[in-house]
Amino acid sequence: MVLPVGRAILEDHGFEVIRVAEEARPLNESKLAQIVSQVNPDVLITGAEPIPRAVLFASDRLKMVQKHGVGVDNIDLGAASERGIVVANAPNTNSEAVAELTIGLMLSLLRHIVQAATSTRKGEWSRFIGRELGHQTVGVVGTGRIGREVIKRLTAFGSKILAYDVYQDAAFAKENGFLYVPLDELLTTADIVTLHVPLLNDTRGLIGRTELGRMKETALLINIARGELVDEAALAEHLKSNGIAGAGIDVFSTEPPQESPLISIPNVLATPHVGAYTLEAMKCMDETCAETVCQVFAGSCPPNVLNPDVVKRM
């Protein structure tokens, strides 16, 4: 995905930019492999599409995959390195955007904003009693760039904050007045649990049936990180049985999530993976992606290249 700012930078450096038509989307593995084999690009700039081995080996000409985003769990980094393809991402370009949507989902669920707006549009006058974010205990799972931005915003609301992370930053915790606690304690104590960890072998299925069973019946779960962090079937069961009060979900294990059990549940507020979709974040990502591509093809190795050894072999 390249917006005009990224296209302009690339074209100024002699690249021809070919954008996949909207009607061809969403792109699955076979579609993308076919496109790569037909277009024969030097660089593939990609978003949430899966980039497995088949896509990486679809063209002998492909030299670089640039992620228009941060997480690269959808890219087979090992296969890319084997094939001699540089992989880079765009770190710290969407942290504020994702954090703001996280807070937005919390507020929407707490104040029943969607239901209230729908009721008013229908000519009704249903007045929903909500809860205030500043009076909730919020458990932040993952205190990386996005988790930190969420914590800063929660501090402004006056929420009590608990956090869980394998790597703890005591100075940041002291500065922002929150405590690191074990995950089990966070789950049993928090009124809202929000996930901000990358998808790794250790975090896949992090929130399953057992973890959901530890949460309060009045609690909310926010997942704006990766769908595979949560057992979606178990979450659907807990929501339907009032095991927890609601969920805000921006990411799914399969996207688009036509068959997800979560979509039709009334106490789920689902959005189509739009955490990073602000003009400001997209512009920043565009610039970072385009500049990274230009630097790599000029012989440099920017710090956001994830397999720098491949650059040395180019």
Q: Does 238 participate in catalysis according to the annotation?
A: no
Q: Respond yes or no on whether the N-terminal peptide bond of residue 26 is cis (omega within 30° of 0).
A: yes
Q: Does 255 participate in catalysis according to the annotation?
A: yes
Q: Treating both helix axes as pointing N-terminal to C-terminal, what angle do 95-111 and 113-121 enclose, rounded to 10 degrees? A: 60
- Contact indicator for 159, 146 with CB cutoff of 8 Å: no
Annotated active-site residue in 226, 228, 232, 238: 226
Q: Rounded to an integer, what distance in angstroms lies between the CA atom of residue 54 and that of residue 230?
A: 27
Annotated active-site residue in 29, 185, 237, 255: 255
User: Within 10 A of 170 (CB to CB), how many other CB atoms are there?
Assistant: 8
Q: Rounded to an integer, what distance in angstroms lies between the CA atom of residue 108 and that of residue 230?
A: 21
Task: Give the up-direction half-sphere exposure of residue 201: CA atoms within 13 A in the CB hemisphere.
Answer: 0
Q: Does 23 participate in catalysis according to the annotation?
A: no
- Contact indicator for 164, 182 with CB cutoff of 8 Å: yes
Instruction: Please identify every residue annotated as catalytic.
Output: 226, 255, 273
